[in-house]
Amino acid sequence: MRLANKTIWVTGGSGDIGLACSQLLIQEGAFLVNFDLKDPDVNPEQVRFYLCDCTDPQDVKKNFQKVMDEVKTLDGLLHIAGGSGRKFGDGPLHDLTLTGWNKTIEMNLTSAMLSNQLIIQHWIESNLGGSIVNVSSVLADHPAPKYFYTHAYAAAKAGLNGFTKSIAAYYADRKIRANVISPGLIATNMSARAQQNEDIQHYLQTKQPLQQGMGLPKDIAGIATLLLSDESSFITGQIIDVDGGWGLSEGQY
């Protein structure tokens, strides 16, 4: 098993992608600690759940201290926590509200800063190394303006990409690795709008030609497992698109 004897911290581990990743990480031998706003109801012998708002600095720090008191050492971080700010006012720039901007940045970038900072501080204090995997979005680098026009979300995920590459460079000599998974459109609760739109579904047949449509949460789990394992010990600072060909394809309307 690729993750035997490793303890992995997962933020957002109760969502669709988080659950798929957690299930595979467990199969590969990992023990997980999960920070989220809902309990995933998985085997407590393999996952310890902490009710936590990953955008709240005090809540994250409080729960992280509980982790340190209970499991002592973490070997990796899979940061999935984030989400759409559409309901808060994210959208095209001319309609974007300040609340939508701030909330979207907070959910997708501030949350990652908080988790990444805490685990790096832990590794420095303990003289340990480890692997960070941050989950971004293909929209950070490959816009699709007709159907996907939440500009704060794109900015937040692009910021996450730059943030990850920067810390990967700075901490490489401490045996700390940091990489990004950049998913295309995945069938999750967050993508319900796209799933219900026939025009978007038609567009995805050519925009994501490998599956001629949406990817599945399990498509993210495999690469997350690899990047958290020692099999990727010579990989850092990479943005890995898991997008079914989105970034290579024009997409037909």
Active-site positions read: 153
**Where do we find the tokens 């926590």?**
81
List phi, psi (to 5°) of 177: -110, 150
**Where do we find the tokens 């816009």?**
143
Tokens representing residue 203 in the block:
């567009």
What one-character-per-residue DSSP string does 50-85 give? EE--TT-HHHHHHHHHHHHHHH----EEEE------
Pairing of strands 130-135, 239-242: unpaired
Edge-to-edge, what's the strand order for the sheet holding 176-183?
47-51, 31-36, 7-11, 76-79, 130-135, 176-183, 239-242
